[in-house]
Amino acid sequence: MSVAETASFWPHIMQPAGDEASSVPSLQDVIEVYNRVYTAVWDVGTHRSQQQKAGCQPESMERKQEQDDNCDEHLELDDLPEPVKLHILSFLDVKSICQLAASSRDWRILGNDNILWRNLLDRDGPSWSSIGHRGGTDLSKDDHKWRYVQCCPEAQRHKEASSIGSQLRGYLRSLFPKTLPMVAMFGPGLNTNTSQIVRAIISGKEGVFNTNMQSTMWQTKLPRRGGGGGLAIKFRNKQEFFLITLYSGTRREREGQSAANKLLVPKTPTSADAEPEYELKHTFRRLCSEVAGFIFVVDASLGIDHVESGLAELQAMTDQRWTPASTPVLVLSCVPGEGETRLTCIKVMEALQLGSMTRPWQVQNAVAGSLQDVDTGVEWLMNNMQGT
């Protein structure tokens, strides 16, 4: 390992908190530690090689024991200083870190290092095509290991596969066919080039999305359904849901990029200096109480400001005063076409403050035009909708 690699890594592993005096060794100290480790390993290897060439022939039993001790001398991994151990851990995958942490108390302490897990989250998080959480725990707290485990797609898939509840819901779904569950699609991404996702779903994708006009006619006749029209969609030729698309304005208003949002009304300000707050219009509250799942669409190609512009709408729709806490939210982080630059799932999660959301949620990268990976997100939504 080069000195340059050591120098670039060290500031990310140990940082002094606040204005406290730093106890972090200087860069020269770290380089000297590495030099000592390298020299010790080299000297031991050279010494043993010379003894083996000489045959290590003892003149007495006492001399033999002394030489055996010298021949067995080597540098153990546990002998390394903690900063070096943390450096080693930073190159390992998470599974290997957890296995090493289970080997001893000292390694368990290092394996739970919060800064180590923050760096692992920064390293691995941008490559995740989806992240999600079943709710009930505040992911915004400063526990990076917990955030990693809760958001890692591989860990989430393992939990879903082993969930008895998920298997039971699938079994009951096959026994009790009933009124199609409603899914509401909304979000600022329906006002940009990613709005084509609606037309793509309605047009259908072989083996994934198919429009069922017969079920649509039957569903819209139900008197208790209200708040907008929609279409019955059959997903992967087995699960059906009623998709309702909720735009923030008319087509003309959206094309004119009107700032008004017809889903929301401003709250009465508590003071003249208070930031404006919004809540859902009464006409949509009953709809939210009956919706089985939400699909929130953002255009990840437009940057953080665009995603944050939908925060008030998302919070208003998922307010627990009219939306059950068990209703899941799928955030489709879309780009119009393949190969376009996008925000990472973690950036979208942070912009929408999903870490503090107590209901099940998932952020899924997707391509609006081709519906690439949209089915992965919808499958998660179907598996997490209560009573479906």
Per residue in 284-339, pLDDT tens?
888 888 899 999 999 999 999 999 999 999 999 999 999 999 999 999 999 999 98
Contact (Cβ atoms closer than 8 angstroms) between residue 294 and residue 280: no
pLDDT above 70 (res 110): yes
Eight-class DSSP state of 367:
E
253 falls within a domain? yes
- Mean pLDDT for 264-269 is 77
Query: Residue 136 domain-assigned?
Result: no
Can you say whether the dihedral through the CA atoms of 146, 149, 153, 155 is positive or negative? negative
CB environment 212-230: b (16+ within 10 A), e (fewer):
beebbeebeeeeebebeeb
Chain segment 68-109, per-residue pLDDT in tens: 555 455 667 777 888 888 888 888 888 888 888 888 888 888
What pLDDT, on a 0 to 100 scale, did the predictor assign at position 157? 63
Q: What is the mean predicted confidence (pLDDT) over 14-28? A: 43
Question: Of the ranges 70-74, 160-164, 223-227, which one carries the lowest mean pLDDT score?
Answer: 223-227
Q: What is the mean pLDDT of residues 187-196?
A: 94
Domain count, the chain: 2
Residue 135 lies in a domain: no
With a CB cutoff of 8 Å and minimum separation 6, the contacts of 369 are: 196, 197, 200, 336, 337, 338
Please tell me the distance from the alpha carbon of residue 195 to that of residue 189, in angstroms, as a whole number: 6
φ, ψ at 39 (rounded to 5°):
-65, -40
Residue 31's pLDDT is 56
Among residues 80, 107, 127, the one where a domain terminates is 127
Q: Rounded distance, CA 190 to CA 310, Å? A: 11
**Do 29 and 100 reside in the same domain of the chain?**
yes
**140 within some domain:** no
Per-residue pLDDT, 16 = 36
247: nearest Cα among 267, 276, 227, 221: 227
Q: Do 211 and 284 lie in a common domain?
A: yes
Mean pLDDT, range 107-131, rounded to an integer: 85
Cβ atoms of 129 and 345 within 8 Å: the answer is yes
Q: What is the pLDDT of residue 305?
A: 95
Q: Shortest CA distance to 372 belongs to which of 328, 347, 340? A: 340
HSE-up of residue 57 (Cα within 13 Å, Cβ side): 3
In-domain check, residue 32: yes
105 and 200 co-located in one domain: no
Q: Who has greater pLDDT, 352 or 82?
A: 352
Contact yes or no for 185/246 (Cβ under 8 A): yes
Question: If you average pLDDT over residues 23-50, what whole number do you get?
Answer: 54
Q: What is the CATH number of the domain that holds 211?
A: 3.40.50.300
| Residue 167 counted as domain residue | yes
- Same structural domain, 97 and 170: no
Mean predicted confidence (pLDDT) in 182-192:
93
220, 369: one domain: yes
Q: How many CB atoms lie within 10 A of CB 99?
A: 13
Do 239 and 175 have their domain in common? yes
State the pLDDT at residue 283: 82
Verify that 212 and 361 share a domain, yes or no: yes
d(CA 100, CA 97): 5
Q: Looking at the structure, do residues 263 and 370 belong to the same domain, yes or no?
A: yes
Half-sphere exposure (Cβ direction) of 383: Cα atoms closer than 13 Å: 20
Q: Mean pLDDT of all residues in the chain?
A: 74
216 and 325 belong to one structural domain: yes
Q: Is residue 7 part of a domain?
A: yes
**pTM of the entire predicted model:** 0.66
Lowest mean pLDDT among 41-50, 87-96, 114-123, 183-192: 41-50
Q: CB of 310 within 8 A of CB of 298? A: yes
pLDDT of residue 310: 93
**Orientation of helix 144-151 relative to helix 153-161, angle to 10°:** 60
- C-alpha of 354 from chain center: 10
Euclidean distance between CA atoms 90 and 94, whole angstroms: 9
% residues pLDDT > 70 (the chain): 62
DSSP letter, residue 222? -
Strands (E) in 176-267, as ranges, are 182-186, 209-211, 230-235, 239-245, 264-266
Residues 6+ apart with CB under 8 A from 126: 344, 346
The answer to whether 188 touches 313, Cβ cutoff 8 Å, is: yes
- Containing domain of residue 96, as a range? 3-13+25-127
Lowest mean pLDDT among 197-206, 249-258, 350-359, 370-379: 249-258
- With contact defined as beta carbons under 8 Å apart, do 186 and 246 qualify? yes
230 and 98, same structural domain? no
Contacts of 313 (CB under 8 A, 6+ apart): 186, 187, 188, 248, 261, 263, 264, 278
Q: Is the pLDDT of residue 162 over 70?
A: no
Q: Are residues 165 and 84 in the same domain?
A: no
Shared domain check, 258 and 366: yes
Pairwise pLDDT comparison (154 vs 333), residue with the higher score:
333
Closest-CA residue to 336 (of 309, 306, 372, 363):
372
Q: Which of 33-37, 209-213, 349-353 has the highest mean pLDDT?
A: 349-353
Q: What is the pLDDT of residue 12?
A: 37
Task: Please state the φ and ψ torsions of residue 15, each to the nearest 5 degrees.
Answer: -130, 135
Asked which of 90, 108, 127 is the last residue of a domain, the reply is 127
pLDDT higher for 208 or 262? 208
Residue 150 in any domain: the answer is: no
